[in-house]
Amino acid sequence: MRFSILALAAVTASFLPYFASTEAFVPRVCSIPRGGDQQRQLSASAVTVAEIPTSPIPGMKPGTSGLRKKVEVWQGTDDEIKEKYYVENFIQSLLDTATANNNGETPKTLLVAGDGRYFNKEAIQKICRVLAGNGVENIWVPSSGIMSTPAVSAAIRTREGGSGDGGIILTASHNPGGPGEDFGIKYNEFYGQPAGEEFTDALYERSLEISKFMTVEGSPDIDIDAPAGTTFSLSPTSTVTIIDPFTEYVDVLKQSFDFDAIREFAKRPEFTILFDGMHGAGGPFARRVLVEGLGFPESSLMRCDPRPDFGGCHPDPNLTYAADLVKKMGLKPDGSTDESTVSSAPALGAANDGDGDRNLIAGAGCFVTPSDSLAMICDNWKAIPHFETAGGPKGVARSMPSSAALDVVAEALDIPCFNTPTGWKFFGNLMGSKEQFDKTDYTPFLCGEESFGTGTDHIREKDGLWAMLAWISILIDANKDVAEGAPLVQVKDIVMNHWIKYGRHFYCRYDYEAVASDAANEMMDLIRDEYVGGDLSSLSEDPSGIKLVGTEEFSYTDPVDGSLTSNQGLILFFRYPNGDDARVVFRLSGTGSAGATIRMYLEKFEKDQDRYGEAAPTALKSLADRAIGLVRLEPLTGRDSPTVIT
């Protein structure tokens, strides 16, 4: 069914886009347009709102952060899944779910943005047409189509007084991009938080029922590279507005940190930083904040120009995939100090992932694990205005596979500490307990997960750049009494002092990527049947002396809304011959697009200060070997080593 209408489309003065098309990867320096008044007159063009028949497409079940598939699936060119309306089906199912959650009313204002990966701009065009076809009145698109996930959350919450109803984010996060690689779409709701399981489950059910989608046909493409402020009328009731991607995000960062103090500290010649954008969406935001806003030199940035294929790199900020930064920070691949290069390393380094929400933190010759970083930010809350002005954090949380380093700090501060399943959406309810549910107020709130995610209630997402600014603030506070020209207190000093105060939680993660799903599930079933539900007393002794003493399958009852989430990881508890306790967690990651990623998390608490200087993978090697042997990982999966150790 089609309805003829007339739409006027505003066209802006053309200028050279900073991206290559998705047909070729031509590296260019990213310079996102900031605005302009030049426009030229439009011609009227006849368009139609069309109702397109379709049918359900199997497999549209979102994981821990949206739906991720190979990009060819989304493009409709995959050899096995040839569905030309893949994007449209998913977006219609998403919008139908959002409408049902909004008392049957179509959301009025939605933001559409991506991390700049291959197929980003084409997908934005399709999505905007579906939204217009369904009567969404206001569609915000950032100039260039690129916006970090933290910035999207900030804009939903604060742009135009918080009038945004949600955001559609085109990202596969830390997964590779380009032909043959990954593409994804996730939805953030009214408060800027990732959609919860109730929403994603309903979306999946809707995708199995869909019989049509609405779209706009006959309209010219939106000029996504137009200056901020340009508008396009896709229909008499739907307008696309090109927005500045930075404004709201920079504003919330300025509310969280003392920009004047950071700007002054940046003038000290002995304080240098290095930020690795990994050619993702976070790069332009790092340039805007660190260089243009705080005065750090351009040499403080590396790989901060977004590229559709992330420059051929895997945009995951860990010791393996951020190898260039790791080396420049005076570190070896296992995170230990490289004495041959540490003398020339910057004082502080950080890396972002594809959509700018994850972070790796390192000092000169000192890798800070995500779990330690979270605990140390908590312990140094007085250095961060977001917490200091409120008298400290009122609650903290970590994902269950993270180490217990945060727990001991929270206990010392006498504040609530929650252990949640992996997935930032589980932190959303805690941050919004008062705002959304009129229950206990845990804000200011600090949270983090083992996969290099850290954040607070300044938005409702993890935020890689926030983590770096937090560490800069901690270093400023640690050096407040250090005279100009004198040696600075370094990251390694802060880390070591923390371990001396609280003890060290040795921690690392093994990733086995792209494992055959059947083999991965067989291994998980073995753990569940033989150990979680089995008799541990019959286990034979191991030469290492490391004994399996308990097991658990993690489940979580949300303290805010009472919802139950089950099957969130299998935990094996061990005891060393000297009585020290340790644990190993196995779970299958929900962020891949093909096969399964087995993640094994290792943790051991250490009180012996003489061992604090060891690299975590070395300290945990015997524990890893014991766990791998018990679960028969190698014979079941065929993998004799992990893809990543971090």
User: What pLDDT, on the 0 to 100 scale, is given for residue 590?
Assistant: 59
pLDDT, tens only, 579-634: 999 999 999 985 555 689 999 999 999 999 999 999 999 999 999 999 999 999 99
* pLDDT above 50 for 27: no
Alpha helices in 267-379 (DSSP H): 282-286, 323-328, 370-379
Alpha helices in 311-391 (DSSP H): 323-328, 370-379, 385-388
What CATH code is assigned to 504-645?
3.30.310.50
pLDDT, tens only, 368-400: 999 999 999 999 999 999 999 999 999 999 999
Q: Which of 89-93, 251-255, 421-425 has the lowest mean pLDDT?
A: 421-425
Confidence of residue 97 (pLDDT cuts 50, 70, 90): very high
Q: Terminus-to-terminus CA distance in the chain, angstroms? A: 54
User: What pLDDT, on the 0 to 100 scale, is given for residue 498?
Assistant: 98
- 575 by DSSP, 3-state: which? strand
DSSP letters along 536-559, please? GGGPPP-TT--EEEEEEE--EE-T
| 2-245 belongs to CATH 3.30.1300.10 | no
Return the HEC string of 5-46: EEEECCEECCCCCCCCCCCCCCCCCCCCCCCCCCEECCCEEE
User: What pLDDT, on the 0 to 100 scale, is given for residue 24?
Assistant: 30
Asked whether the domain spanning 504-645 has the same topology as the one spanning 250-502, the reply is no
* pLDDT above 80 for 18: no
Identify which has the larger pLDDT, 31 or 598.
598
Instruction: Return the CATH number of 250-502, one of 3.30.1360.80, 3.40.120.10, 3.40.50.1580, 3.30.420.40.
Output: 3.40.120.10
Half-sphere exposure of 433 (CA within 13 A, CB side): 18
* pLDDT above 50 for 138: yes
Kindly state the average pLDDT of the residues 317-333: 96
User: What pLDDT, on the 0 to 100 scale, is given for residue 151?
Assistant: 98
Strand 138-142 to strand 238-243: parallel, antiparallel, or no bridges (unpaired)?
parallel
User: What pLDDT, on the 0 to 100 scale, is given for residue 16?
Assistant: 29
Half-sphere exposure of 9 (CA within 13 A, CB side): 18
How buried is 343 (Cβ within 10 angstroms: 0-12 exposed, 13-18 middle, 19+ buried)? exposed
Nearest Cα neighbor of 135 from 53, 51, 203 is 51
DSSP state of 246: S
Which token pair is 331?
């570190």
Confidence of residue 82 (pLDDT cuts 50, 70, 90): confident
Which token pair is 552?
């658990």
Alpha helices in 432-478 (DSSP H): 433-437, 464-478
Strand partners, 556: 565
Chain mean position to CA 542: 39
Which token pair is 378?
């908590």
DSSP state of 288: I
User: What pLDDT, on the 0 to 100 scale, is given for residue 577?
Assistant: 95
User: What pLDDT, on the 0 to 100 scale, is given for residue 79?
Assistant: 85
Residue pointed to by tokens 């929650």? 418
* pLDDT above 90 for 493: yes
User: What pLDDT, on the 0 to 100 scale, is given for residue 110?
Assistant: 98
Which token pair is 519?
């083999």
DSSP state of 81: -
Kindly state the average pLDDT of the residues 23-33: 34
CA distance 281 to 3: 38
Which residues does 391 contact at the CB level (< 8 Å), separation at least 6? none
Kindly state the average pLDDT of the residues 217-226: 94
Which token pair is 93?
């199912």
Nearest Cα neighbor of 199 from 61, 56, 355, 88 is 61
- Radius of gyration, alpha carbons of the chain: 25
What's the chain's average pLDDT? Answer: 91
Identify which has the larger pLDDT, 594 or 74.
74
Q: Are 477 and 262 within 8 A, CB to CB?
A: no
Return the HEC string of 591-628: CCCCCEEEEEEEEEEECCHHHCCCCHHHHCHHHHHHHH
Catalytic residue (choose from 65, 148, 153, 173): 173
Q: Are 600 and 569 within 8 A, CB to CB?
A: no
Q: 566 catalytic, yes or no?
A: no
Q: Are 457 and 445 within 8 A, CB to CB?
A: yes
* pLDDT above 70 for 264: yes
* pLDDT above 90 for 351: yes
pLDDT, tens only, 545-588: 999 999 999 999 999 999 999 999 999 999 999 999 999 999 99
User: What pLDDT, on the 0 to 100 scale, is given for residue 2?
Assistant: 42
DSSP state of 399: E
* pLDDT above 80 for 43: no
CA distance 431 to 395: 9
Residue spans of the domains in the chain: they are 2-245, 250-502, 504-645
User: What pLDDT, on the 0 to 100 scale, is given for residue 10?
Assistant: 36
User: What pLDDT, on the 0 to 100 scale, is given for residue 136?
Assistant: 98
Nearest Cα neighbor of 623 from 529, 535, 531, 549 is 549
User: What pLDDT, on the 0 to 100 scale, is given for residue 46?
Assistant: 76
Kindly state the average pLDDT of the residues 246-259: 98
Strands (E), 205-288: 212-217, 231-235, 238-243, 273-276
User: What pLDDT, on the 0 to 100 scale, is given for residue 45?
Assistant: 55
Please count the other Cβ atoms lying within 10 Å of the Cβ belonging to residue 29.
9
